[in-house]
Amino acid sequence: MADNAIVGTSWVVQELGGGVLSDPKPELAFGDDGRLTGTTGVNRVMGRYEVAEGLLTVVDAATTRMAGPPEAMEQEQRLLALLDAPQAFVVTGDRLELGDGETLAVLVRPSVQPG
């Protein structure tokens, strides 16, 4: 898998830690300029990302600080914890899987979200 497979792409997080996420689902965009932008479902997230040797590393991530429903805040914490460490990634068509061994997150391109 080419390390640049996620550069310039946008994704919606469908599953995290084996569970399907509730709406609003987090969205992440990996800019051509190495910037990460998006939402956690509650808050905006921004930072930088690097891809090398099959690993995605998020650097200097920051979020806004709004509160949301308890389940959405728990989702947010799980997503931020995932992004806090380098993760192996595989892009297959319209699907991005993050994690090693057991998949920790499944993301899909916005145009293929389930209805």
Residues 32-85 have pLDDT tens digits of: 999 999 999 999 999 999 999 999 999 999 999 999 999 999 999 999 999 999
Q: What domains lie within the chain, and their CATH numbers?
A: 3-107 (2.40.128.270)
Tell me the C-alpha distance between 38 and 102, whole Å: 24
Tell me the C-alpha distance between 45 and 63, whole Å: 4
pTM: 0.91
